[in-house]
Each structure stands twice: as structure tokens, then as C-alpha cells.
Amino acid sequence: MEKEVHEQYEYARRRLRQKKILYFHFVLFLLGSLFLFIANRFFGFGEGTTQNWCIWGITIWLFIFILHFIKVYITDRFMNKKWEREQIDRLVALQQKRITQLESSLNEDNQNKI
């Protein structure tokens, strides 16, 4: 029972750390976007290039943030250790079933030859 409690604690700790990093990434995204916008509009960085280059940078950064959000709240939520364990157990059961079928067919072939 203690091992199960420890696994639950480790899972909760890992999820909390993932969410904490995601929130930090969100704050960094907001501050960075604000900085890019101010640098483009008020300080004239990149005037020789596209006028709205900051929009491209913010859009790419937003896409990366959305991928991070999907990983934390969708992918890791459903494909956790329990899901991995269930998939491994299912595959092992399929392998055992196939081995049993092969052994029985091999035994039948040996008996037919006798």
C-alpha cells in the first residue's frame, strides 16, 4: 500500500511541476510579447524589414505555448504511467496468447506426425 501512495505522490508532484512550468511559460510569453511589441512600435527595431515583424514572433511563440499547453493538459493527462502500464499489460497478454497458439499448433503437428 505504501508503494501505491508513494506513486500517487510522485505523480501529483510531477503534474504540479508541469503546471508550474506552463504558468511560468505563459507569464514569460506575455512579457516577451509586450517587449517585442514595444521594441517594434516605439523603439523602431527592425524598421528596415517588415513593419509588423513582432506579430510573426508573437504568433510563433503562441504556437509553441499552445503545444506546451496541449502536452500538459491533454497528452500527459491521458497518457500517464497508468496508461503505459495498461498498454504494456495488453501487449504482453497478446504475445502470450500468440505463443500459446503457436505451441498448440506445434504440438498438433508433432502428434499428427506420430
Per residue in 67-105, pLDDT (tens digit) is 999 998 888 777 777 778 888 889 999 999 999 998 888
What percent of the chain lies above the pLDDT cut of 70? 92
Q: Give the position of cell 505451441.
A: 103
Q: Tell me the Ramachandran region of residue 49: left when phi exceeds 0, alpha when psi lies from -120 to 50, beta otherwise.
A: beta
Give the pTM: 0.64
**Measured distance CA(68)–CA(86) in Å, rounded:** 25
In Å, what is the CA distance from 92 to each residue of 65, 88, 106?
A: 37, 6, 21
Q: Give the position of cell 510569453.
A: 29
